[in-house]
Amino acid sequence: MVCGVKTLGQFIIEKQADFPYAKGELSRLLRDIGIAAKIVNREINKAGLVDILGDMGTTNIQGEEQKKLDVYADEQFIAALTSGGECCIVATEEEDEIIHIDSPVSQNAKYIVCIDPLDGSSNTDVNVAVGTIFSIYRRKSVEGRASLADVLQKGTEQVAAGYVIYGSSTMLVYTTGKGVNGFTLDPSIGEFCLSHPQMKIPENGYMYSVNEGNYVHFPDGVKKYIKYCQVEDEATKRPYTSRYIGSMVGDIHRNLIKGGIYIYPTTARSPKGKLRLLYECNPMAFIIEQAGGKASTGFDRILDIQPTELHQRVPVFIGSKNMVNKAEEMMLLYTAKSISIEAKVENTLQDLGVVGGID
Ligand SMILES: O=P(O)(O)OC[C@H]1O[C@](O)(COP(=O)(O)O)[C@@H](O)[C@@H]1O
Ligand SMILES: [Mg+2]
Ligand SMILES: [Mg+2]
């Protein structure tokens, strides 16, 4: 214990049995992620004083404006994972394709890291919490170079997942499938120290997080769920509070501690949902399930989805178990029907030889 606290490094070694692979691999991976997070944290903390705010003037494969901090964070995490020697592939939001790590120290590297280097980019210039989200897989292939097939694994195959939140304090929260633990950065010693052991999300919550600006284009089930949250009902402590800060890490971290639900459904602008399966939804789903919560697309468990593309997007309903159950109930009652009707029409048209089905 360093001055009465347990550091991230000490905790990982103590919990080594929770990570059934060669001793030290996870601690080196989280060490590398922690180093990059401290560097990103330093830049965020002085962002107004250095030329790190604003747009790069470039767009990523998602077609999104890249912020200078997006690119800076991306560079730092790739560099730290390259020199750390445990990672053979980095799949990042900010790069079109997977990045093969071919450094001399990574010749026997077995781990894939999927990462959103900076989550909540729209908040970087306005001093609101942003984060980093990461997911760690072990490569399945044993011969030659790891490939995209090693990256496109179901969320249930993750060996670890976590996030960093750069907020009023900076925290790193992670799981290896044996519960969720939170570490707060102590700037005076430059270490992440255990501050939130065995985090659990309340089964019930009274806060919902959704961008209601997209209401018109929400599926009916989401509209019905939002109205459910807003109805006066003393017995179930409704109306719930609406909290949405535009940073998935910030909204989910708050809901993890206080209870609540975060929803990013399909919208007109994002017909498959906005958030990416590999480096946003899967890691957050692993963490929230490990904390006793639930994560679904509104119909199916996020972690069971077989990824088909690197930057694949999915709708996400994640948080307190009973809140996600209620939202899924509304989706089944009011949206599944319309989807199944559309599917029936599509099949009928195709049976009739109307090529291309309905628009
Ligand atoms: O502005 P919108 O459409 O509500 O989207 C906000 C969501 O988009 C995100 O910023 C997407 O993440 P990135 O910033 O990493 O692209 C989430 O963090 C956030 O919850
Ligand atoms: Mg993100
Ligand atoms: Mg991002």
User: What is the Å distance from ligand 2's center to 281 Cα?
Assistant: 9
Q: Where are the beta strands (DSSP E) in 167-272?
A: 170-175, 180-186, 191-196, 207-209, 241-242, 261-264
Interatomic CA distance for residues 118 and 60, integer angstroms: 13
pLDDT at position 357 is: 47
Torsion angle defined by CA atoms of residues 147, 149, 152 and 157, in that order, rounded to the nearest 10 degrees: -100
Interatomic CA distance for residues 148 and 111, integer angstroms: 13
Tokens for 273, please give them.
């949902």
| CB burial readout 79-114, b (16+ within 10 A) else e | ebbbebbbbbbbbbbbbeebbebeeeebeebbbbbb
Q: What is the ipTM of this complex?
A: 0.98
Q: For ligand 1, is residue 76 a contact (CB within 6 Å)?
A: no
DSSP secondary structure string for all residues of 294-312: EEESSSSBGGG----STT-
pLDDT at position 16 is: 79
User: What is the Å distance from ligand 2's center to 243 Cα?
Assistant: 18
Q: For ligand 1, is residue 119 a contact (CB within 6 Å)?
A: yes
Angle, CA 325 vertex, CA 322 and CA 330 arms, to 5°: 130
For the chain, which residues make up each domain, given as ranges? 8-196, 207-342
Element (H, E) at 137: strand 130-138
In the block, residue with structure tokens 């964070």:
73
Pick the residue whose CA is nearest to atom 3 on ligand 1.
211
Q: For ligand 1, is residue 274 a contact (CB within 6 Å)?
A: yes
CATH topology of domain 207-342: D-Maltodextrin-Binding Protein; domain 2 (3.40.190)
pLDDT at position 286 is: 98
**What's the start-to-end Cα distance of the chain, in Å?**
62
**Phi and psi torsions of 209, nearest 5°:** -120, 110
Q: Residue 118, annotated ligand binder?
A: yes
In the DSSP assignment, the letter for residue 277 is: I
CATH topology of domain 8-196: Fructose-1,6-Bisphosphatase; Chain A, domain 1 (3.30.540)
Q: Residue 38, annotated ligand binder?
A: no
Q: For ligand 1, is residue 273 a contact (CB within 6 Å)?
A: no
* Identity of the amino acid at 245: I
If one residue of 92, 119, 216, 279 were mutated to test the ligand 1 pocket, choosing by the most ligand atoms within 8 A of its CB, it would be 119
User: What is the Å distance from ligand 1's center to 311 Cα?
Assistant: 14
Residues with CB under 5 A from ligand 3 (ion): 93, 116, 118-119
Series of mean pLDDT values for 10-residue runs along the chain (359 residues)? 76 82 84 96 82 73 79 96 95 96 89 97 89 97 92 97 96 96 95 96 98 95 98 96 97 98 94 96 98 97 97 98 98 80 70 61
Q: Which ligand is nearest to the CA of 77?
A: 3
Q: Which ligand is nearest to the CA of 124?
A: 1
Q: Residue 169, annotated ligand binder?
A: no
Q: Residue 120, annotated ligand binder?
A: yes
CB 129 within 8 A of CB 166: yes
Give the model confidence (pLDDT) of 177-216 as tens digits: 999 999 999 999 999 999 999 999 999 999 999 999 999 9
Say if 8-196 and 207-342 have the same CATH topology.
Answer: no
- In order of 59, 158, 159, 300, 301, the CA distances from 286 in angstroms are 29, 8, 10, 14, 11
For 69, the 3-state DSSP assignment is: helix
User: What is the Å distance from ligand 2's center to 90 Cα?
Assistant: 16
pLDDT at position 322 is: 98
Q: Residue 144, annotated ligand binder?
A: no
